[in-house]
């Protein structure tokens, strides 16, 4: 069974920032969403799982592989798309994938050619294979990134903030591609974008200040809030008053005015209306945003 088990993982950087605080998660095949605001510790966790940095304590395993103590074993079955996927100047998509395939240990040129062509086709870039990757759009670059992460039939695929900066069309194409590859392997999608998780994941965790503050399905998290989320369109000057009076979980502009969502066990009256909760309400209620007024 291809299962990723993370147990009591902790990491404090030399500057005193506790990026991972006793993180415990179990992840099976499929796309798992790791949702958290910037600085929550997602990249620290992804880098630890990708064996690029060490934890202070705790353990992690993928099936029989002890990730902490057998990093080279893990690397053989890992596909990793880091947050910043840098590319060399003037290298074409085909050359880049060929180069990555060599690094992954595919030494035979004919075998590499087959793998590279297959992946170029899979990410829909075969026609662009001889174009410089530098000239690609953000979405196309991310598809090259996914193609390189798929080299060598990985069992664990880690994608760190893959949709930041993509336009809606590119994001959709990337979603489709990930959904396609995510069936047979463990895919961890780290993101601060709630839509990524809503579109792709049946299981998720929410991370904040290095801690896992929710773990389960998006659906059951939403059901937990059922009948407790109310909204009201208010004036900007009134925001502070509402913040003092209610537990505001989100504040979005709608037609130039703040539309606030609050969490309340019973109907507050006061012009509020009950709404069907969504994943964004879950996210903001779990991370307890403190800067709701800005
Ligand atoms: N090498 C480092 N040295 C010191 N502090 C670090 C280091 N890397 C990250 N941090 C800090 O650790 C915390 C977690 O960072 P991390 O990058 O893991 O979060 P994140 O959820 O991935 O956020 P982002 O999306 O902004 O990258 C942040 O406060 C960050 O400033």
Predicted local confidence at residue 14, as pLDDT:
96
| Residue identifier of the C-alpha nearest atom 5 of ligand 1 | 13
Q: Cα(282)–Cα(224) distance, rounded to whole angstroms?
A: 9
* Ligand 1 pocket member 51 (CB < 6 A): no
Predicted local confidence at residue 262, as pLDDT:
94
Q: Cα(18)–Cα(24) distance, rounded to whole angstroms?
A: 15
CA of 44 relative to ligand 1 center, distance in Å:
6
CA 49, 51, 52, 54 torsion: positive or negative?
positive
Q: What is the ipTM of this complex?
A: 0.92
The residues with which 23 forms a beta bridge, in sequence order, are 9
User: Taking a C-beta distance cutoff of 8 angstroms, is the pair 231, 39 a contact?
Assistant: no
CA of 36 relative to ligand 1 center, distance in Å:
12
Predicted local confidence at residue 237, as pLDDT:
92
Q: Cα(258)–Cα(236) distance, rounded to whole angstroms?
A: 6
* The two three-digit tokens of residue 292, written as one number: 């709701």
The model's pTM is 0.87
The residues with which 34 forms a beta bridge, in sequence order, are 190, 205
The residues with which 157 forms a beta bridge, in sequence order, are 79, 187
Predicted local confidence at residue 96, as pLDDT:
93
Instruction: HSE, CB side, 13 Å, CA atoms: give it for residue 147.
Output: 29
**pLDDT, mean of each 10-residue run, the chain (294 residues):** 92 96 95 93 95 96 96 93 76 93 91 94 92 89 89 92 82 84 88 89 95 95 94 93 92 91 92 94 83 48
CA of 214 relative to ligand 1 center, distance in Å:
20
Predicted local confidence at residue 1, as pLDDT:
64
* Ligand 1 pocket member 42 (CB < 6 A): yes
* Ligand 1 pocket member 162 (CB < 6 A): no
Q: Is 34 helix (H, G, I), strand (E, B) or coil?
A: strand
The DSSP code sequence of 272-283 is -EE----HHHHH
CA dihedral 19, 204, 27, 58 (to 10 degrees): 20
Predicted local confidence at residue 289, as pLDDT:
63
């Amino acid at each position: 069974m291809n299962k990723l088990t993370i147990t009591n993982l902790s990491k404090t950087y030399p500057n005193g920032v506790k990026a991972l605080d006793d993180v415990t998660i179990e992840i099976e095949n499929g796309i798992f969403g790791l949702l958290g605001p910037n600085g929550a510790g997602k990249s620290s966790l992804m880098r630890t799982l990708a064996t690029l940095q060490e934890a202070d304590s705790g353990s992690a395993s993928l099936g029989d592989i002890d990730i902490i103590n057998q990093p080279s074993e893990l690397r053989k079955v890992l596909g990793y798309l880091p947050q910043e996927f840098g590319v060399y100047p003037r290298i074409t998509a085909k050359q880049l994938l060929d180069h990555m395939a060599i690094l992954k240990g595919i030494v035979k040129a004919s075998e590499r050619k087959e793998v590279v062509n297959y992946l170029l086709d899979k990410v829909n870039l075969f026609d662009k294979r001889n174009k410089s990757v530098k000239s690609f759009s953000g979405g196309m670059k991310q598809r090259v990134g996914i193609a390189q992460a798929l080299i060598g039939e990985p069992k664990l695929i880690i994608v760190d903030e893959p949709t930041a900066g993509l336009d809606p069309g590119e994001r959709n194409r990337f979603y489709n591609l990930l959904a396609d590859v995510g069936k047979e392997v463990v895919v961890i999608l780290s993101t601060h974008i709630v839509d990524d998780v809503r579109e792709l994941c049946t299981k998720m965790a929410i991370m904040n200040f290095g801690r896992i503050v929710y773990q389960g399905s998006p659906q059951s998290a939403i059901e937990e809030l059922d009948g407790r989320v109310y909204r009201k369109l208010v004036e900007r000057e009134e925001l502070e008053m509402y913040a003092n009076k209610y537990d505001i979980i989100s504040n979005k502009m709608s037609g130039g005015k703040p539309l606030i969502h609050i969490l309340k066990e019973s109907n507050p009256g006061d012009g509020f209306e009950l709404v069907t909760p969504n994943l964004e309400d879950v996210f903001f209620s779990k991370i307890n945003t403190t800067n709701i007024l800005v």
